[in-house]
């Protein structure tokens, strides 16, 4: 049976990983060193970097956290 093009694309996208940019990681490390910075400050570099955002969402939506809904 032949899959629909959108199904093929969806499967390929699931198998790929966007890499986080090194600048985003450096910025997060810098922000995390200051105890006054919280989620609001850490969200900025994460939201700018698509690869990092994808990795965070995959992690928090995983069964590791046991959330029932996304």
What is the C-alpha end-to-end distance of the chain, expressed in Å? 31
Tens-place pLDDT, residues 38-52: 999 999 999 999 888
Q: Which two tokens stand for residue 7?
A: 């199904």
Are 20 and 47 contacting, i.e. CB atoms less than 8 angstroms apart? no
Q: How far apart are CA 28 and CA 22, in angstroms?
A: 10
Tens-place pLDDT, residues 16-39: 777 778 898 899 999 999 999 999
pTM over 0.85: no
Specify the pLDDT at position 2: 57
pLDDT-based confidence at residue 67 (cuts at 50, 70, 90): low
Domain boundaries of the chain, sorted by first residue: 16-60
Report which of 8, 39, 60 is spatially closest to residue 70, judged by C-alpha positions. 60
Q: Which residue has the tokens 């996304």?
A: 70
């Amino acid at each position: 049976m032949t899959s629909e093009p959108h199904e093929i694309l969806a499967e390929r996208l699931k198998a790929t990983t966007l890499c986080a940019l090194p600048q985003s990681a450096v910025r997060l490390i810098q922000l995390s060193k200051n105890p006054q910075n919280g989620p609001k400050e850490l969200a900025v570099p994460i939201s700018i970097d698509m690869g990092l955002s994808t990795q965070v969402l995959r992690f928090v939506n995983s069964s590791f956290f046991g959330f029932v809904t996304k």
